[in-house]
Amino acid sequence: MQRAGAGGRRASDCGPAPHRPRCITKFAQYVGSFPVDDLDTQESVWLVQQQLWALKDCPRRRAVILKFSLQGLKIYSGEGEVLLMAHALRRILYSTWCPADCQFAFMARNPQSPANKLFCHLFVGNQPGEVQILHLLLCRSFQLAYLLQHPEQRTQPEPCLGSAGDIAPKQLSSPGGPPGLVREPFGRGQLSQ
């Protein structure tokens, strides 16, 4: 018998049924959350980086399942039975990853909290590539949600380097996905730090 938390939702609720949003599932370990003052952006980023460095060897960890979708990010217990957190994209303000310490973190506002009350949620993986993927999936969620809200941006070709270094227009459709959306890795210059 499976338990269900947060209104009976389970990690499997983001499944292949046509009426459910498509999502990508990844596993990580949740270290914890800490409050962040809504300060100047640069100052907040610096304070978050300092806190991540301080927590790099934190032994307290909990296995979790992260579900990325165009609506936001949901975090379930390791068994996928209990919804621990759900953050709509509109409430996520910042995302970062630290490959040296295998950390992924994002800053968000809680649903009923005041606008200036932010929390940073920290996760770790077993290797740098795992946490980089978590960061890129969150970035990609933002990119695709933006393209759905601004369809005029989908039709503009994006330059890419050809085999001889020439700039050639990129095909903007992918099989199985909505027409006009690019599904390929980010280039080094496209990543947010």
Domain-located, residue 166:
no
Predicted pLDDT at 63: 96
Q: Which residues contact 7 (CB under 8 A, 6 or more apart)?
A: 83
Predicted pLDDT at 186: 45
Domain-located, residue 180:
no
Predicted pLDDT at 175: 40
How large is the average pLDDT for residues 16-36? Answer: 80
Over residues 65-85, the pLDDT tens digits come to 999 999 999 999 999 889 999
pTM of the entire structure? 0.67
CB atoms within 10 A of CB 143: 17
CA distance 51 to 98: 12
Q: Which residues contact 112 (CB under 8 A, 6 or more apart)?
A: none
How large is the average pLDDT for residues 33-51? Answer: 80
Domain-located, residue 176:
no
CA distance 7 to 81: 11
3 state SS of 50: helix
Domain-located, residue 116:
yes
3 state SS of 134: helix
Burial of 131 (0-12, 13-18, 19+ CB in 10 A): buried
Q: Hey, what are 183's tokens?
A: 């599904």
Q: Give the structural domain span for 28.
A: 24-150
More confident: 177 or 47? 47
Q: Which amino acid is present at 5?
A: G
Domain-located, residue 33:
yes
Domain-located, residue 189:
no
More confident: 112 or 15? 112
CB atoms within 10 A of CB 72: 21
Over residues 90-130, the pLDDT tens digits come to 899 889 999 999 999 999 988 888 877 889 999 999 999 99
pLDDT higher than threshold 50 for residue 177:
no
Predicted pLDDT at 111: 80
Domain-located, residue 72:
yes
